[in-house]
Structure formats: C-alpha cells, structure tokens
Amino acid sequence: MKRFISALICCVMLFSFTGVFADESGAPDYESNGAAWAARAQEALDSGSAETATVIINGKTMEFDMDPIILDGRTLVPMRAIFEELGAQVEWIDESQIILATKSYKLVSLKIGKPGISIADVSVDLNTQKELEVPPFLLPLPDGSGDRTLVPLRAVSEALDAVVLWDEATSTVTITL
C-alpha cells in the first residue's frame, strides 16, 4: 500500500510541477547560480573560513559525513541525511538531478541549481511551490569519495511539517516533528 501511495504521489508531482523546473526564455540562469553557491561553499571550506552549525532533531544531535555550513545566514546540510532523519524516503534521479522525498502523503521535490521547492500533499489536495534563496547544489566530499547534495535546512524541514528554531549564540538548529 505504501508503494502504491508513493507511486501515486510521484505521478501527481511529475504532472503537477513540471512548470517549476521548466526553462523559460529570458529566465535567469539558475544552473550557474547553483554553481556559484557551490564555488562559494568550496572556497569557504578550503580557506577554513566556513561557519558550521550543529543540528539537533527531536533531541538527537546529527552527525554528517560533511558538516552543515552557513552561507549568507542560510544553514545548508546534506540532503539525504536530513530527509531520512525527518522520516522521509529519498530518491535521487541522476539524469535530471532531481531530488524526491516522500513522507506519508507528502512529496517534496527539488532540482540541483534551481531555487524552487515543490510540495504536494495529496491528503488535503494541496500543491505548493516556493522559491528558495539558495538552490540545492553539489559539493565534493572532503575525502574525494563523491559528492553531497546540500539543501537549505529550514526549507526542507518545514516542507515536512517540522518546527525549526535557530540559536545564533551557539550556531545550533533545533528541529522537532
């Protein structure tokens, strides 16, 4: 039954939100925007000037294979780890660089380099698109063993109905479901 619901949600999302990721003539080049964010993050990491954050979800301090980083006041985290800790199943569609996360009757989708997030909740027949200040982007792991997709923590957490609190004094994000 869960697979059926997940498949149904995926179909709804694919047909409902194709406009979010469509390239329109005259539209800003968001691919280079994603690349610009990745370059800034890599430069901060390489120079040792990257600010990091602690992430606590339901009282559990998260450990990542790449530290969450703060750029322009936005906390960016590896997407799979955060989605899975929030109880979502994650699918990465490599050929189109789309991230799909499903939880219960919700489907969240993002695309590398595109500053949009789509949220479908079939339980209440709601489809929402929001613009992100920071698009998801790829960043190489420090050990060179691959890449991680970094996403804005608040946006993806709130998309899954979590409450997000920020403590500036300790650079700690506390998330509760």
Percent of the chain exceeding pLDDT 90 equals 52
Residue type present at position 107: L
What are 56-114's pLDDT values in tens digits? 999 999 999 888 999 888 999 998 999 999 999 999 999 999 999 999 999 999 999 99
Q: Which class is 2-20+29-176 in CATH?
A: alpha beta
Per-residue model confidence as pLDDT tens digits over 25-47: 333 444 457 888 888 888 988 88
pLDDT greater at residue 94 or residue 141: 94
Give, as one character, the DSSP assignment of residue 96: T
User: What pLDDT score does 4 carry?
Assistant: 44
Question: Strand 51-52 to strand 69-71: parallel, antiparallel, or no bridges (unpaired)?
Answer: antiparallel
Q: What is the mean pLDDT of the chain?
A: 83
- 101 vs 24, which has greater pLDDT? 101
CA angle 33, 74, 16 (to 5 degrees): 60
The answer to whether 100 touches 74, Cβ cutoff 8 Å, is no
Domain residue spans in the chain? 2-20+29-176
Quickly tell me which residue has 């209440």 as its tokens. 124
Helix runs in the chain, H state only: 2-16, 18-21, 30-47, 79-85, 153-159
